[in-house]
Amino acid sequence: MENSKPIKHIELPREEWLELRRGLIEQYGKIVLLSWKMKEICGFTMREHRRDTSYATGEYHPPVYCLDFYDEAMKMWYLLKYSGREQEDTEE
């Protein structure tokens, strides 16, 4: 078993995720939307993360779309391919 550091995910707002999703469908077909195929083809899976909404203050947090990478090389490939986009690594 490896004792490697976990790979940080990348968070995308809804609009960026939808743009990326369209591009993936164009390039690979709808099969890429299956999580196991997305992991196999792209090196990541997507999860929707909903932050808590504060009912006391009425503050709403829109969901973010997290790309979870399983291989550092695939994350680097993604960042190089989509370097024109504004990406943010989250800190854990």
The count of domains in the chain is 1
Residue 89 belongs to a domain: no
In a domain, 25, yes or no: yes
Q: Say yes or no to pLDDT of 29 above 80.
A: yes
Residue 70 lies in a domain: yes
Lowest-pLDDT choice from 34-38, 61-65, 73-77: 61-65
Query: How much of the chain, in percent, has pLDDT values that exceed 90?
Result: 55
Position 31, amino acid: I
Is pLDDT at 91 greater than 70 in this prediction? Answer: no
As a whole number of angstroms, the distance between CA 62 and CA 4 comes to 32
Sign of CA dihedral 80, 21, 6, 60: positive
Instruction: Report yes or no on 68 lying in a domain.
Output: yes
Per-residue model confidence (pLDDT) at position 27: 94
Does the residue 88 lie in any domain? no
The pLDDT value recorded for residue 82 is 80
* Residue numbers of the domain that contains 73: 10-79
Rounded alpha-carbon distances, angstroms, from residue 70 to 45, 53, 86: 9, 30, 21
Long-range contacts of 59-64 (CB under 8 A, 24+ apart): 62/13, 62/14, 63/14, 64/11, 64/12, 64/13, 64/14
What is the per-residue pLDDT for 26? 96
Nearest to 49 by CA among 37, 39, 62: 62
pLDDT recorded at residue 65: 95
Query: What's this model's pTM, rounded to 2 decimal places?
Result: 0.74
Residue 4 inside a domain? The answer is no
